[in-house]
Amino acid sequence: MTSSNEREAASLYAGTERRTQPHLREVFEQAYRVAYPLLDSRQVLKPEAGSAHFLRVVLHDNFPNLHLQDISILSVSIERVYRERSKNET
């Protein structure tokens, strides 16, 4: 179900790109493939301190040219997409 805020944002930005980091969008699927074994092993999604940091380290090792803020954005996005895709598989 789409909320009214999402509909308003969609009509406001119709035809224009809202994302401000297109370089992250370009590497997202490759980064997702790198992160998938970690996510699938359930090691990263545990609420323990440091598990999300491990994902960021792995992403930084594979994408050393990205800024640390970009790595953080990418890791959060990857975790969110993993959860959504996992829900759809069950």
What token pair was written down for 23?
Answer: 């370089």
What token pair was written down for 27?
Answer: 């590497």
Tell me, yes or no, whether 52 lies in a domain.
Answer: yes
Q: Are 78 and 39 in contact (CB under 8 A)?
A: yes
Q: Are 21 and 70 in contact (CB under 8 A)?
A: yes
Tell me, yes or no, whether 29 lies in a domain.
Answer: yes
- pLDDT, tens digit only, all 90 positions of the chain: 444 555 555 555 555 666 678 889 999 999 999 999 888 876 555 555 467 888 999 999 999 999 999 999 999 999 899 889 888 876
H-run or E-run covering 14: none
Tell me, yes or no, whether 41 lies in a domain.
Answer: yes
pTM for this predicted structure: 0.69
Structural domain including 72 reads 20-89
Tell me, yes or no, whether 10 lies in a domain.
Answer: no
pLDDT at 67: 95
Tell me, yes or no, whether 80 lies in a domain.
Answer: yes
Tell me, yes or no, whether 78 lies in a domain.
Answer: yes
Residue carrying the six token digits 């800024």? 67
Q: Which residue type occupies 57?
A: V
Tell me, yes or no, whether 5 lies in a domain.
Answer: no
Number of structural domains the chain divides into: 1
Tell me, yes or no, whether 9 lies in a domain.
Answer: no
